[in-house]
A and B are shown apart, each in its own frame.
Chain A
């Protein structure tokens, strides 16, 4: 089968790989029909995540058709069209029972901080991902969810990560009716977080980024205010000024380790790798939230350390909430929102590529060429 093959920072290609096999009674083999490149895949692509081995296949956002199931699988069958949450979760450990499917304790041998994730380095379990024609899906009775016949495939595709992550960002913000919410980052997750903030009753939503085309997109898509931090001396001061000098009730970091906007963070975090990426957005979020406010973090950082103003967290009495998204927990509600037309995630897709053109797709997304917001990969067997 054809699969993406990572060769080092900024180098990927498509190669023939052996077909995945059932390795556990609860496994399924899924033939991928659509896969996304996620903003967090770019952290891998840029070589920022430790233990990303040469030959890895990335891809944790995908849908497909079940082609084979293990002897212990009862809830999906061969031929089912499924969306596959990016978390690999057993559904029965202490953490899964609490709905913390992203923190499953039975799916990642190589790190205890996070559960298994498809195609996200060996620190997320060493599983191959869905930027391929076929993929092994463990715990097939837990994660994979049959796509309803009335749901568009590309809406289903964005329910595997982007929409749930944006929604959980807003949810973790504990947004109350009347709140002002600032979202740092107008990438796919930031766009979704801004859109979902309204669902919780926010009365003002503000997005901060530096790419004009994305700011214009989010203004239209999420009906929010959007500002370019390149046009201001100090984004924190700007936010204070437009919030009666108090700060926002809730700040969301939807950027993570690939942030720009602060030379010191960029050099130490992205160029010299002296910290786990540039924590610029988190820095701004902590300083721009009001006293007693909440900072919600869904931006992905590496596992080592970052420079953040922890003293201000204490002095301002801020609550920080963060996690990888527990997609399965949110799926029933979000599928309902999509089917009722409240949310239309597929509208953020801007580019579609054949799987064979994956190197161009990564470069285009990474360098923000041709106003790229969300690229989708289509294996040639599914054109």
Chain B
């Protein structure tokens, strides 16, 4: 392909071909392979310390130098999270308890809110004002569907 011809053809696109490497195939400078000394023995940064409980993947022998220590596990969801971290990242026994813990944690969050005297404003937290403003019909359909399904399930349960 003629470089100049192509450049002319794409003058309407600012920067066309500026990062193309016409000599090299493919263009892929993803890794600086020369820098890979295959070593796990780099000069480590200073170690962060904490008094909080911080989970650690069992695929590494120690905490990294820096870590997040927000939101230590608590309650039932916390027990599940601790259980999950006994297993490696390749196990369902790691991920599925974490997903379940998230759903339980949501309920724990509502309970904690109510216990502290705060009643969550679900309408506001779900940003329904935006829906109401820009797509009222869809919101009404959504609410009606949820209500209909809930009533249906409730009636089924009552019949039993």
Interface residues of A (CB under 8 A from B): 7-13, 23-27, 47, 50-57, 72, 88, 90, 92-94, 97-100, 105-113, 116, 122-123, 125-128, 138-139, 171-172, 174-178, 198-201, 203, 223, 273, 294, 302-304, 321, 323, 333, 337, 341-343, 359-364, 367, 369-370
Chain A nearest Cβ from B1, distance in angstroms? 5
Q: Which residues of B contact A342 (CB under 8 A)?
A: 14-15, 18
* Contact A94/B134 with A177-B20, A199-B15, A337-B15 known, Cβ cut-off 8 Å: no
Q: Which residues of A contact B134 (CB under 8 A)?
A: 364, 369-370
Interface residues of B (CB under 8 A from A): 1, 3, 6, 9-10, 12-20, 22, 25-33, 35-40, 42-46, 48, 50, 54-57, 59-60, 63-71, 73, 77, 81, 84-85, 89, 92, 95, 98-99, 101-103, 105-106, 108-110, 120-122, 124-131, 133-135, 138
Chain A nearest Cβ from B124, distance in angstroms? 6
Closest 3 CB pairs of A and B: A363-B127, A174-B26, A126-B68
Contact of A52 among B32, B54, B102, B127 (CB under 8 A): B102
Given contacts A7-B110, A174-B28, A342-B18, list 9 more A-B pairs with CB under 8 A. Answer: A13-B124, A26-B46, A93-B42, A94-B37, A100-B31, A106-B44, A107-B67, A110-B57, A359-B125
Chain A nearest Cβ from B64, distance in angstroms? 4
- Chain B residue at smallest Cβ distance from A23: B48
Asked if A98 and B13 sit within 8 Å, CB to CB, the answer is no
- Chain B residue at smallest Cβ distance from A47: B102
Contact of A201 among B6, B45, B99, B103 (CB under 8 A): B6
Contact of A51 among B40, B50, B101 (CB under 8 A): B101
Instruction: Tell me the complex Cα distance, A99–B36, Å.
Output: 10
Asked if B28 and A171 sit within 8 Å, CB to CB, the answer is yes
Instruction: Tell me the complex Cα distance, A294–B27, Å.
Output: 12
Contact of A171 among B30, B59, B85 (CB under 8 A): B30
Contact of A99 among B30, B124, B128 (CB under 8 A): B30
Chain A nearest Cβ from B157, distance in angstroms? 22
Number of A-B contacts (CB under 8 A): 255
Asked if B64 and A106 sit within 8 Å, CB to CB, the answer is yes
Q: Which residues of B contact A113 (CB under 8 A)?
A: 89
Asked if A367 and B27 sit within 8 Å, CB to CB, the answer is no
Instruction: Point out which of A25, A52, A122, A333 has the most chain B C-beta atoms below 10 A from its C-beta.
Output: A122
* Contact A112/B89 with A26-B66, A362-B127, A364-B127 known, Cβ cut-off 8 Å: yes
8 pairs, A vs B, C-beta closer than 8 Å: A53-B71, A97-B32, A97-B36, A111-B57, A171-B28, A201-B22, A323-B30, A341-B14
Asked if A8 and B18 sit within 8 Å, CB to CB, the answer is no
- Chain A residue at smallest Cβ distance from B97: A50
* Contact A112/B60 with A50-B99, A51-B101, A198-B13 known, Cβ cut-off 8 Å: yes
Chain A nearest Cβ from B26, distance in angstroms? 3
Q: Which residues of A contact B27 (CB under 8 A)?
A: 171, 174-176, 200
Asked if A24 and B109 sit within 8 Å, CB to CB, the answer is no
Asked if A304 and B26 sit within 8 Å, CB to CB, the answer is no
Chain A nearest Cβ from B78, distance in angstroms? 9
Q: Which residues of B contact A99 (CB under 8 A)?
A: 29-32, 35
- Chain B residue at smallest Cβ distance from A6: B109
Instruction: Tell me the complex Cα distance, A99–B29, Å.
Output: 9
- Chain B residue at smallest Cβ distance from A341: B14
Instruction: Tell me the complex Cα distance, A367–B69, Å.
Output: 32
Instruction: Tell me the complex Cα distance, A105–B41, Å.
Output: 12
Chain A nearest Cβ from B134, distance in angstroms? 4
Q: Which residues of A contact B109 (CB under 8 A)?
A: 7-8, 54-55
Asked if A177 and B22 sit within 8 Å, CB to CB, the answer is yes
Q: Which residues of A contact B18 (CB under 8 A)?
A: 199, 337, 342
- Chain B residue at smallest Cβ distance from A340: B15
Asked if B31 and A90 sit within 8 Å, CB to CB, the answer is no
Asked if B30 and A364 sit within 8 Å, CB to CB, the answer is no
* Contact A98/B35 with A54-B106, A112-B89, A342-B15 known, Cβ cut-off 8 Å: yes
